[in-house]
Amino acid sequence: MIETSGVLYIVATPLGNLGDMSPRAIEVLQQVDWIAAEDTRHSGRLLQHFGITTRMLSLHDHNEQQQSERLLQMLSEGKSLALISDAGTPLISDPGYRMVQRAREEGFVVVPVPGPSAVIAALSVSGLPTDRFAFEGFPPPKQGVRKRYLETLANESRTLVFYESCHRIVDSLQDMAAIFGIQRQAVVARELTKTFEEIQAGDLAGLVQWVTSDANHQKGEFVVLIHGVSPAEGDQALDEEALQTLRVLMEELPLKQAARLTAKRHGLQNRMVYQAGLALKG
């Protein structure tokens, strides 16, 4: 029996395979007074499959602010609510943040009913380090903005995790290869838990080749995971301005002196600039 008075449940639902629906998720969705769903038609099919007849209302990006107030009113009347999204865990690149924030501000109990999420499923099979990772959600859709944004992540040492859609998977992977380097190790996880699930690992050059070589590899939903830079690689990755200074000084001075002056000018460590100079010399 679940607590059914004035409680908001945040309920994860399957990414594709209905066998991933937890018994507790079914119980909660059956017993609450209302289910707030991102797309009521889409979720209606899921609920029907499990014989759940609870009433639904919609909560999506465009009505969240206004709808949250209505839901808070219901909680204050002692009703219980469950929030679900189209797939996976609500609030993870999905609506609900404002609703949860408001519910907590008003002192209502918010209870997680955990389950599938593409970021965790992809990490668990990627073979990349999982002790520290940075979840970045969807990269910006416009190429110029995306490239500048990826540049800010070029020296990140944690595993990077991105969501991407079929419309932009090729462009995004190509930009990642250009900015993170074609040799950076990465994984593309496609259609997780579904019939055409694929987990493809390799360097970014190989993954661009894989995704462009077959139109089927561009279909469905994607998680892209990028190996973080190792501390040694990070040391060599100076920004373009510092590299330019170093190049000019190296034309006139011995490496040691050029590195010291560059480090001083750009506020960097001597050793790191020296290593970059060695890499420039080849």
Pick from 13, 67, 85, 126: which binds ligand SAM (CB under 6 A)?
Answer: 85
Q: Give yes or no for residue 126 binding ligand SAM (CB under 6 A).
A: no
The DSSP 8-state label assigned to residue 183 in this structure reads: T
Nearest residue (CB) to ligand SAM, 119 versus 153: 119
Residues 171-230 that bind ligand SAM (CB under 6 A): 189, 191-194, 221-223
Sign of CA dihedral 254, 259, 261, 265: positive
Cα–Cα distance between 168 and 100 in angstroms, integer?
30
Pick from 47, 103, 118, 123: which binds ligand SAM (CB under 6 A)?
Answer: 118
Q: Candidates 23-31, 86-94, 172-180, 252-260 — which segment interacts with ligand SAM by CB under 6 A?
A: 86-94
**Radius of gyration (Cα) for the chain, nearest Å?**
24
In angstroms, what is the minimal distance from the CB of 92 to ligand SAM?
Answer: 4
In angstroms, what is the minimal distance from the CB of 176 to ligand SAM?
Answer: 14
Nearest residue (CB) to ligand SAM, 169 versus 229: 169
Nearest residue (CB) to ligand SAM, 181 versus 202: 202
Nearest residue (CB) to ligand SAM, 172 versus 275: 172
Nearest residue (CB) to ligand SAM, 151 versus 197: 197
Helices then strands (H, E): number in the chain? 12, 10
Size of the site for ligand SAM (CB under 6 A): 23
Pick from 16, 95, 96, 228: which binds ligand SAM (CB under 6 A)?
Answer: 16
How far from 55 is each of 43, 119, 248, CA to CA, in Å? 11, 30, 69
Cα–Cα distance between 123 and 117 in angstroms, integer?
10
What torsion, rounded to 10 degrees, do the Cα atoms 148, 154, 158, 164 define? 50
How far from 40 is each of 30, 33, 35, 44, 246, CA to CA, in Å? 16, 15, 9, 6, 59
Provide the mask over 31-70, with x wherever binding to ligand SAM is found by CB under 6 A and - wherever it is not: ----------------------------------------
Question: What is the arrangement of strands in the sheet containing 185-190, beginning at the earlier edge strand?
Answer: 133-137, 159-165, 221-226, 185-190, 198-203
Cα–Cα distance between 280 and 8 in angstroms, integer?
57
Which positions touch ligand SAM (CB under 6 A)? 15-16, 85, 87-89, 92-94, 117-119, 163-165, 189, 191-194, 221-223
